[in-house]
A and B are shown apart, each in its own frame.
Chain A
Amino acid sequence: MSNRAVVVLDTPASQPVTARTTWLSDAAADRLFYWVVAGSAFFVLIALGAAALSMAWGGRLAFQTFGWRFFYGTEWDPVTRQFAAFVPIYGTIITSLISMIIAVPISLGIAVFLTEVAPRWMRGPVGTAIELLAGIPSIIYGMWGLFTFVPFMSDHVQPWLIDHIGPLPIIGPLFDGAPMGIGMLTAGIILGIMVIPFITAVMRDVFLVVPPALKESAYALGSTKWEVVKDVVIPYTRTAVVGGIFLGLGRALGETMAVTFVLGNAHNLSISLMEPGNSIAAAIANEFTEADSDIYLSSLIALGFVLFIVTFIVLAVAKLMLQRVARQKGE
């Protein structure tokens, strides 16, 4: 009996020790792991703050030199070193506005189609195809815009707009000028196409979670399909729909490469949507490597800071709205 026990005890001792000789106890390893993952998570938090701070710091020279004039002045002259950002800010707002005018109804239509109209077998493939629009790199939009869409606009669309809408009293001046193809209208349309998939994805996802009982009750009362969409589905999902639109707006405001190609990079303010214009992102992309003085560079970084703050606010609003819906759903 005792002999056997010795044998059993002997076996592990005769081999190299396999027992754990870790240099770290389990508790210490756990703490270390915790601090590694927590540190990484804080890194994400810090990254956002650092981005904002570094741009505020880089742009301080411009803010100090030009003060509030930086926001409402219109001159942008590298030679006399006078920089004021109204033209790019205006361009960003107008192009984003045009993109929203196009993207919101189209996305709504696509979302309704995908959830109510299309036969079931069609929903997956069509939905994926629309999502692919979001996968195309933005520089491809820009290049396609420059080589294909700009000539199309100047040959077919803009002459018609100039002839038919140009003479109208109030909105006429918007469509005044020569059909050059480039300009804010073209940029706005391309932006609109780019943000369609983002808005569509949000709308489709929230349309799908409308409780069937609500829709069925409306059908039972004799509603048509459109009335169900208009009076049940959209009111029920309104907050999320607006959140999705803001998400798209945030994308449109900051989009760079697609608009850089087709805006024309001109620092003059014009009412017409067909004149070359500028946007914050396009101005930075075009001029950054050419900036030859500190104040020039600082002004461009200050523009970046403005863009960052604006998109941050828009995206935060979007996120809060979508979160509220998620919470209502009980997630």
Chain B
Amino acid sequence: MTTAESLHRRRQIVSVAALSLATLATVFGLVWLVWILGTTFFQGLGALNVKLFTEMTPPPGQSGGLLNAFFGSFVMVLMAVVIGSPIGIAAGTFLAEYARGSRLGEVIRFVNDILLSAPSIVIGLFIYELVVRQAGHFSAYAGGFALAFILLPVVVRTTDEMLRLVPDVMREAALSLGIPRWKMINHVLYRAAKAGILTGVLLAIARISGETAPLLFTALNNQYWTSSLAEPMANIPVVIFQYAMSPYDAWHTLAWAGAFVMTLFVLALSIISRTILNPRKSDNA
């Protein structure tokens, strides 16, 4: 009796201890989140001022802003969206509508998922070989291509998933009216899955806005204003990298300011897209 009781007590204690450890692990994870975001916001807020959006990146020892870098990032992200999302949506459509259950579809989905997690630096090297080396110089469009390749798998995957969520009844209803398949996809499926597909693009934008590694070898950096896509172009992530690694305090401050704006943008975008994507999941998962 006593041994059974002590065994029972021991098991209870082990259970409580293990679950407490699990709780501690969660606290541990949240501490890092608060620490990292706290540092970024605290340092970034102190460095914010209007000059950030009105002046160019300064040479060492002078004050300035990040206008050309913001512009460059905007241009390259826009290029990536314009190039990458149509291809991504089309590829996702193929997977969901034409390759369902086929071996080919499985292979493409598999490859896409690997691209999704593949190191972004590798994409940078790929575009370097493909574009920069052929053209002979670094350029903004190379940066845009590199970002498009990172955006692509995210859009493919969400489009595929969202289209598969559309009930088959809708497809059958449209087809039974004699509407050709491409019209059915364009006018019925895309409309039904619009919010989901858009969310995929937003998530992808959030992802590429902070990408640094691929831009190091493609768009490089530019201290001056340029709107020519054939020239190296400044962009926020590379400027942050360069300035944070520099020995100048003024550059560090600018880097924090850039980091603050970028983080705010990226997190806002990913929170917004998550809430559009599944408003219900946040309650019970």
> Which of A43-51, A71-79, A175-183, A268-276 makes up part of the contact surface?
A43-51
**B216: nearest chain-A partner, CB-CB:** A285
Given A37-B98, A50-B130, A224-B11, A261:B244 Cβ within 8 A: yes
B1-20 at interface with A (beta carbon < 8 Å): 11-12, 14-16, 18-19
Given A136-B263, A301-B129, A288:B26 Cβ within 8 A: no
Contact B15 A301 (CB under 8 A): no
Interface residue count on the B side (C-beta < 8 Å): 95
> Which of A61-69, A125-133, A154-162 makes up part of the contact surface?
A125-133
Given A38-B94, A124-B285, A257:B115 Cβ within 8 A: no
- Tell yes or no: A12 within 8 A of B by CB: no
- Which residues of chain A are within 8 angstroms of B24 by Cβ–Cβ distance? 109
Contact B90 A224 (CB under 8 A): no
User: Which of A33, A43, A55, A284: most chain B Cβ within 10 A?
Assistant: A33
Please report whether the interface of chain A is mostly helix, strand, loop or mixed according to DSSP: helix
Interface residue count on the A side (C-beta < 8 Å): 98
The minimal Cβ–Cβ distance linking B68 to chain A, given in whole angstroms, is 18
Q: Which single member of B19, B129, B206, B263 contacts A140 (CB below 8 Å)?
A: B263
The minimal Cβ–Cβ distance linking B268 to chain A, given in whole angstroms, is 10
The minimal Cβ–Cβ distance linking B229 to chain A, given in whole angstroms, is 20
- Which residues of chain A are within 8 angstroms of B99 by Cβ–Cβ distance? 41
- Which residues of chain B are within 8 angstroms of A308 by Cβ–Cβ distance? 118-119, 122
The minimal Cβ–Cβ distance linking B91 to chain A, given in whole angstroms, is 4
- Tell yes or no: A196 within 8 A of B by CB: yes
Alpha-carbon distance A45/B113, docked complex (angstroms): 11
Given A43-B91, A109-B22, A124-B282, A139:B40 Cβ within 8 A: no
Could you give, for residues 11-55 of chain B, a 1 whenever the CB lies within 8 Å of some chain A CB and a 0 otherwise? 110111011011111101110110111011001000000000000
- Tell yes or no: B217 within 8 A of A by CB: yes
- Which residues of chain A are within 8 angstroms of B225 by Cβ–Cβ distance? none
- Which residues of chain B are within 8 angstroms of A38 by Cβ–Cβ distance? 94, 98
- Which residues of chain A are within 8 angstroms of B181 by Cβ–Cβ distance? 30, 33
- Which residues of chain B are within 8 angstroms of A196 by Cβ–Cβ distance? 29, 32
- Which residues of chain A are within 8 angstroms of B133 by Cβ–Cβ distance? 58
The minimal Cβ–Cβ distance linking A212 to chain B, given in whole angstroms, is 14
Contact B33 A129 (CB under 8 A): yes
Contact B121 A208 (CB under 8 A): no
- Which residues of chain B are within 8 angstroms of A307 by Cβ–Cβ distance? 119, 121-122
Could you give, for residues 214-246 of chain B, a 1 whenever the CB lies within 8 Å of some chain A CB and a 0 otherwise? 001100100000000000000001001100110
- Which residues of chain A are within 8 angstroms of B128 by Cβ–Cβ distance? 58, 301
- Which residues of chain A are within 8 angstroms of B93 by Cβ–Cβ distance? 37, 40
Please report whether the interface of chain B is mostly helix, strand, loop or mixed according to DSSP: helix
Contact B36 A113 (CB under 8 A): no
Contact A40 B36 (CB under 8 A): no
- Tell yes or no: B57 within 8 A of A by CB: no
Q: Which single member of A47, A51, A110, A304 contacts B26 (CB below 8 Å)?
A: A110
Beyond A57-B129, A140-B40, A224-B15: 17 further Cβ-contacts under 8 Å?
A33-B182, A34-B98, A40-B94, A108-B22, A109-B23, A113-B25, A117-B23, A140-B210, A146-B245, A148-B35, A251-B117, A254-B122, A257-B213, A257-B241, A285-B121, A301-B129, A315-B118
Listed A/B pairs (28) with beta-carbon separation below 8 Å: A30-B181, A33-B185, A40-B87, A40-B93, A41-B108, A48-B115, A55-B126, A106-B28, A108-B22, A113-B22, A127-B282, A128-B282, A132-B33, A136-B37, A137-B209, A139-B240, A139-B259, A142-B241, A143-B256, A144-B36, A147-B244, A254-B121, A261-B244, A289-B217, A307-B121, A307-B122, A308-B119, A312-B114
Which residues of A line the B interface, CB within 8 A?
A: 26-27, 29-30, 32-34, 36-45, 47-48, 50-51, 54-55, 57-58, 105-110, 112-114, 116-118, 120, 123-133, 135-144, 146-148, 193, 196, 200, 204, 208, 224-227, 229-230, 247, 250-251, 253-257, 260-261, 281, 284-285, 288-289, 301, 304, 307-308, 311-312, 315-316, 319, 323
